[in-house]
Amino acid sequence: MASSPVSSTTAGLAVAGCTALAVFGPLVGLSPAWIALLIGGGLLGLTVDASQLEGMGGHLVAEALPGGKARLRRVARHEAGHWLVARDEQLGVKRVLVGTRACLEAGLRCNGATEFTLPDQARLPLEELRRWSRVLQAGIVAEVLLEGAARGGEDDRALLGQIWGLSGQDVETAQREQRRARREVEQFLRHHRDDLEAVAERLLEGLEPEAA
Instruction: Determine the average pLDDT of the residues in 157-174.
Output: 94
Identify the pLDDT of residue 37: 55
pTM (2 d.p.)? 0.73
* Dist. CA 149–CA 132, nearest whole Å: 22
> What's the mean pLDDT in 19-48?
52
- 158-174 as b/e, with b when 16 or more CB fall inside 10 Å? eebeebbeebebeeeeb
Evaluate if residue 102 carries a pLDDT over 90: no
**In 92-206, beta strands by DSSP E:** 93-98, 112-116
Percent of the chain clearing pLDDT 70 (strictly above)? 70
pLDDT band for position 26 (cuts 50, 70, 90): low
Report the pLDDT value the prediction gives residue 40, as an integer from 0 to 100.
53
Confidence check: pLDDT of 74 > 80:
yes
Contact 84, 138 (CB under 8 A): yes
- Residues 109 and 40: beta-carbon distance below 8 Å: no
Query: What dihedral angle (degrees, nearest 10) is formed by the CA atoms of 193, 194, 195, 200?
Result: 90
Residue 89 has pLDDT above 70, yes or no: yes
HSE at residue 206, side-chain half, CA atoms within 13 A, is 4
Query: Where does the pLDDT of residue 210 fall: very low under 50, low under 70, confident under 90, or very high at 90 and above?
Result: confident
Phi, psi (rounded to 5 degrees) for 92: -70, 135
* Alpha carbons 40 and 26: distance in angstroms, whole number: 17
What is the Cα–Cα distance from 125 to 129, expressed in whole angstroms? 6
Half-sphere exposure in the Cβ direction for 67 (13 Å, CA): 3
CB 85 within 8 A of CB 37: no
pLDDT at 212: 65
Q: Which residue has the higher pLDDT, 58 or 74?
A: 74
**For 39-43, 90-94, 150-154, 187-191, which range has the lowest pLDDT when averaged over its residues?**
39-43
pLDDT at 55: 53
